[in-house]
Chain A
Amino acid sequence: MTKLQANPITTEIIRNAFNSIAEDMNAALIRSAYTPIIYEGKDCAVALLDEDGEVLGQSLGLPLFLGNLSLCVQIVAEMHGWDYFNEGDVVFLNDSYIAGTHLNDVTVIVPIFWNNKRVGFATSRAHWLDVGAKDAGQSTDSHEIYQEGMRWAPTKAYAAGKPQQEILTFLKLNSRFGDALLGDLHAQIAAGKTGEQRFSALLDRFGIETVLAARDDIFRQSAEMERESIRAIPDGIYKAEGALDNDGLSKEPVPVKLTISVNGDKMAVDLAGSSEQTRGAVNCGETQTISATRVAFKLLINPQRPVDGGTFTSLDVLAPENSIFNAREPAACSWYFSSLGLLIDLFVKALSPVMPQAVAAAHYGDSMVLILSGYDKSKNDELFVSIEANTGGWGAWSEGDGQDCLINNVNGSFRDYPIEVYEHRYPVRIMKYGIREDSGGPGKHRGGNGSYREYHLTNDANMSLWFERAHTTAWGLEGGHAGKAPEVNVISPDNTEKSLMKTNAMPLKAGTIILTKTGGGGGYGDPAERDATQIAKDIENSHVSESFAKEFYGGVG
């Protein structure tokens, strides 16, 4: 068979192939993953990289991991040289100051060899349920990374095809769910092997010269397009700021500030003025700050084009040292994503005056996590840990209402865990789950509503909570109002009630009721301009109550 030559058609076929290889890898990971947070929550990402660690194709469960795997491989190569990677190796790492995220996120790198030459990397990242933090799953009150679990610099789980038994045993023994942990590691290895096989087949089919020529074309196209899109934004300095409620330990708000400068075909994002690294766990490594800024960038610049090694070449990120966005040892990083979620929203806000056709008002803002753990009496005191994120309201925009009950911006394919499956697994009964009326911000287009849930404990449990964004609620745009803040109430069996947003491993008795409410999205435009039929429809469906409509819209029509 003759080899196909590089031309626009071949380039397009190869570009499609890069992305479908990544999708195949992701499918392999999701299918064989052990814990729900990966297969239901899709708290994972995969990428096929070239020999320099640049992205050929990627598939994301979690947008927040955008472009991060590429950075990880390049950092490992900087540390140990490219020859560190041998055929048959499986390298993993989770150090927050390298990978940028919390220790639960484990990056696995499988170098791809073809005809005895290293030609690329099949990489993945997934959230492991338990990596031996001081509390089951994750702690919300950690103040040093040493409390957050095992910390791994790049380490070989397999070397030249041989399992490193001591390492695997160590991993298993230091997790409360050692079997699940090894299951998830194997799922990531399966994803890596899939990438390796598919990429080798592609090279067999087209030859390496053609594939590399196509890659160069693709990268060049992406970089050109990006420059063109940035040129369309007026040159200038754009700023926005907000604050997290607190760091989980103190009561002080944690400021986040960003300054975007657009200059011709370049964009720089400076995070100066944001908080110094905090005692509580809202810090992250620089790598993850770059990833989050890329997510924000992608929301506004060519959102539909797949990411590759040519993307983000016009974007610079400056994260001051020792800040929450570029933390140093021993900063705790467990809840790193709250700072980053706010950063993304503020990026959109800063550019909203000059990109009205692309932006939306703010969304409810954070993952709104509830963790319940304990020993299940109905299952011979077996340990259980449930971790859930909650959906909330999204922001309205120039043409439409914000959506009710959707997962937040740093997540993506994250799906609610079905209640019927949840109750099989955990000694908790969910008695209500619904749309929180009146929580979306009023406007010509209203913000989406948040959700509420009511949990009844049928067993003693420890509760950890991480609810955010009461300080900086979802703001509106162009006269639209802000959405409501989140709220959590705990009602003990003796009927004492407590309101709280963050707590760590709080012991609760069977019979306790937990009521969670997530925030709404921001509205867009003056509520007085809202269409009467839309107001009537909202009232008919109780998305908005009559009294709320009267207060903000002057009643029905």
Chain B
Amino acid sequence: MSKIRAASDIGGTFTDLVYFAVDEETGQVAEINAVKTHTTPDEFQAGVMTSLDVAGISAKDLSFFAHGSTVVINALTERKGVKTGLITTRGFRDILEIARGNRPDFFNLRYQKPEAFVPRYLRQEVTERMTHRGDVVTPLILDEIKPILKSFEAEGVEAIAVCLLHSYANPAHEQQVCEEIKRLAPNVTLVASHQISREWREYERTNTTALCAYVKPIAGAYLNEMEKSLQRDGFTGSFYVMQSNGGIDTVASAKEVPISIVESGPASGVLGAAALGKVLGIDDILAFDIGGTTAKCSLIDGGRVSLTNQYMIEKNARSAGYPIMTPVVDIVEIGNGGGSIGWVDEFNKMHVGPQSAGAIPGPVAYGKGGTEPTTTDANILLGRINPNYFIGGEIQADVAAVSLAFEKLGEQLGMSAIEAARGVIRIANHNMGNALKLVSINRGYDPRDFTMIAFGGGGAMHAAALARELNIPKVIIPAHAAVFSAWGMLMSDLRRDYALTLPLALKANNASKISKTFQNICTEATEAYATESIEKGDVYFEQMLELRYEGQEHTVQIPIPLDGIDGAAIEKLVESFNDAYERKYTYRLENNVELVSCKVTAFARVDRPAIGKLDASLFGSIDEAKKEVRDVDFDEYGMHKTTIYQREKLAPGVVFSGPAIVEEAGSTVVVFPSQILNVDDYGNLHINTAGGLS
């Protein structure tokens, strides 16, 4: 009898399913398989169920099901949430609308602020006030809640957000307000800021709470439907939801605070890179994901996925955007993907993206009416993508149309079609290279110390060129590059991140207070897991201090021992802080060090079998993997007669040198002249980017 473990990731175009069977008696793990089906935007769960059908899996055979979806981010960006009311401390209902008052588009006399998700007439105030230390200055007047609820009801409010000043320091008033609301209106959808964040900055926390309430009914309904669909087919396994922090959580927890799943897709890709690194014994990784419209990258330091609490949506050079203060994998995203359009502006300058040809009409090569050349089209014209094996042979690429599109682009700049295509790739590579620099060099990391793990439809196409440009010595194209986000979920433990703002001097006499704070958070986390029947023995922690020089703002995170600290340990922490600070900011000071917040990540182990190695004896010779030889344009590295390999036929242990192209259904791997590629025991491709054996 074998049970199936599966993960499903809903993207803009495709719904990916990755799964493998485990024999319950022997623990033997079968090969990992993947299925791609079209996303069904009106009813996402239908697409998920279809993917199970296509894979021939019955829900009753699933022991583990992890799910990532864009339901929250879609509801936000399409403004499809519910009518939301906000309750704030008296005197502060406008915090949400004033925001931070900044005007990022300097020279625009007609700048328009992002509109608040809750309009002013739906923002109500309650009399109460805490100090920054969490002491009560003005007691809470609970009687004010009833008329507020009345007015919300009259306006047809469907969800309520509560965010009071300094509630991170003491949530008592917020809790009392919530209890009163639940007493008076037991069925109303409710979110209080302390449930999401215990960190200071009132605008960011208020906005996060408001956005969470705004999407909560939508996300709840969706997850309920998903659960029901599975249960109808006899599902009795564990259902988990992928979060933005690079870990999964229980579905109950996701329904309670759905804003925590806002960036689940990209986060799981980064998590996948970290998980693959663990299998291969690689700790320092640049995760690099190229999709249809964007490229995303994130840095993994010592096996640890880096998180940010300064995530923004809809922020760009023209708009201040909206902050979401929940832990999100620290990803830099730019508008350059396979579908990004190359164009020339009124000043005769060439750009690539951020406009994308999307799924419809798609790149010119699709032959569906697209006339503007994309990055993908450039790769076709240069011979890197096989026109006869486009999207796994699903479509015959329209090379004549592609050629014509680049001729037109080139005419505007007085260059040939080929030169224009090279230009599009150079500019796209430059933009992507910048994004990679932002997460590495700009944060004090040297790319030479990192391995790039490239995935997504376009990752393998650009990775080797970018790595050479940035002196990244090695690129790995994972075995499941095209469905890597879903693969990442299969490798995840449960993860919950806690942070508590606690401004305090990092001095020996505060050691016990700091230890105690961590203890309390860990106890809280363990208890929360226990209410969901997760055993204490499966829970493990990571603890970090967020530190800075006294009076400064920006912080550096330093790990702190799990078994508490004493005065002597404080000295060591100060030293580690100084070292880390110098690496990040190029100088150190003799000033006092200050604690800003205590951060705990509480993981809960998920029983997870090890992934199996491939059996080389089942593969034929390397010659059998060779498909053809064709001319490929490697731009500044010249035009070469290039051998094309079929990826599925490459045996573990195979080694060859570039120029070469490796084709598989979902992507194309470009190996530049003199670069060396080898295949590892799991079917991952390793490219030594500078040349020589890796």
Contact = CB atoms under 8 A, between A and B. Distances in A.
Given A179-B551, A423-B131, A434-B94, A416 B100 contact: yes
B106 to A, nearest CB: 4
A421 B100 CA distance: 13
B546 to A, nearest CB: 14
Interface stretch (A80-88, A232-240, A397-405): A397-405
A266 interface: no
Interface string A262-288: 000000000000000000000000000
A404 B114 CA distance: 11
B586 A418 contact: no
B109 interface: yes
B92 A432 contact: yes
Contacts of B503: 424
A419 B165 contact: yes
A415 B100 contact: yes
B101 A406 contact: yes
Given A32-B585, A412-B103, A418 B415 contact: no
B109 A415 contact: no
Most B CB atoms within 10 A — which of A298, A348, A431, A454? A431
Interface stretch (B199-207, B292-300, B354-362, B399-407): B199-207
Interface stretch (A34-42, A120-128, A462-470): A34-42
A394 to B, nearest CB: 8
B103 A406 contact: yes
Interface in B524-553: 549, 551-553
Interface residues of B, number: 67
Most A CB atoms within 10 A — which of B91, B106, B415, B549? B106
Interface in B93-123: 93-95, 97-98, 100-104, 106-113, 119-121
A348 B109 CA distance: 10
Nearest to A433: B92
B589 A421 contact: no
Given A12-B350, A421-B201, A543 B120 contact: yes
Contacts of B119: 541
Contact of A391 (B98, B203, B414): B98
A431 B94 contact: no
Interface in B333-361: 347-351
Contact of B113 (A179, A359, A406): A406
Nearest to A359: B109
Contacts of B91: 431-434, 454
B107 A9 contact: no
Secondary structure at the B interface, as helix, strand, loop or mixed, is: loop
A183 B591 contact: yes
A435 B442 contact: no
Nearest to B423: A9
A186 B587 contact: yes
Interface in A368-404: 391, 394-395, 397, 399-400, 403-404
Chain A interface size range: 35 or more
Contacts of A28: 442, 585-586
A407 B102 contact: yes
A360 B109 contact: yes
B610 interface: no
B636 A2 contact: yes
A434 B201 contact: no
B109 A397 contact: yes
A314 B166 CA distance: 53
B101 A391 contact: yes
B137 interface: yes
B129 interface: yes
Interface in B120-147: 120-121, 129, 131-132, 137
Interface in A407-431: 407, 411-416, 418-421, 423-424, 429, 431
B313 interface: no
Interface stretch (B426-434, B489-497, B658-666): B426-434
Contact of B347 (A42, A225, A540): A225
A304 B108 CA distance: 8
A525 B193 CA distance: 42
Contacts of B201: 418, 420-421
A315 B334 CA distance: 35
Given A412-B104, A433-B92, A403 B109 contact: no
Nearest to B318: A304
Most B CB atoms within 10 A — which of A8, A10, A28, A429? A8
22 contacts: A1-B637, A8-B350, A8-B415, A9-B350, A12-B351, A17-B430, A20-B434, A40-B553, A189-B587, A299-B109, A404-B98, A406-B103, A407-B102, A413-B102, A413-B104, A416-B203, A418-B201, A418-B202, A423-B131, A434-B94, A435-B120, A540-B121
Interface of B: 91-95, 97-98, 100-104, 106-113, 119-121, 129, 131-132, 137, 165-166, 168, 200-204, 347-351, 413-415, 419, 422-423, 426-427, 430-431, 434, 437, 442, 503, 549, 551-554, 584-587, 589, 591, 636-637
Given A8-B423, A32-B587, A432-B92, 11 more contacts: A9-B419, A15-B349, A16-B430, A32-B585, A33-B553, A358-B109, A400-B110, A416-B102, A418-B203, A431-B91, A540-B121
Which 3 interchain pairs have the tightest Cβ spacing? A432-B91, A9-B423, A303-B107
